[in-house]
């Protein structure tokens, strides 16, 4: 699978931009932008504003999320921040605190 992975145990800080899929298994702080999909794994921790085609949250996100397609918060996932997306799904067992704007 092509894409970028922030591996478990890795902490990265700054402003990141890519045109490929991104999987976060470690910690990201700052801003992260991708033209493709962004997945935060169960052990992933993000303290950043995110922009992507689609975002899947299985870990923890603190920051604003903007997705041109959709945001999915999976069971056990936690998102604190505002969401701007065409669609938002929140699974049973997920946690969300913030505002939602679906006017994309």
pLDDT band at 103 (very low <50, low <70, confident <90, very high): confident
Residue 46 lies in a domain: yes
Give the chain's domain count: 1
pLDDT band at 12 (very low <50, low <70, confident <90, very high): very high
39's tokens: 């997945």
Nearest to 63 by CA among 41, 85, 43, 78: 78
Residue 41 lies in a domain: yes
Residue 87 lies in a domain: yes
Range of the domain at 55: 4-94
Neighbours of 73 (CB within 10 A): 24
Residue 1 in this model has a pLDDT that exceeds 50: no
Residue 102 lies in a domain: no
Residue 99 lies in a domain: no
Residue 50 lies in a domain: yes
């Amino acid at each position: 699978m092509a894409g970028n992975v922030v591996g478990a145990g890795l902490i990265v800080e700054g402003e990141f931009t890519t045109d490929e899929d991104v999987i976060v298994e470690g910690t990201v702080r700052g801003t992260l932008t991708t033209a493709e999909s962004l997945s935060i794994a169960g052990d992933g921790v993000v303290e950043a504003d995110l922009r992507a085609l689609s975002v899947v949250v299985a870990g923890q996100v603190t920051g604003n999320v903007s997705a041109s397609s959709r945001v999915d918060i999976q069971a056990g996932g936690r998102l604190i921040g505002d969401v701007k997306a065409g669609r938002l799904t929140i699974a049973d067992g997920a946690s969300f605190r913030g505002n939602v704007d679906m006017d994309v």
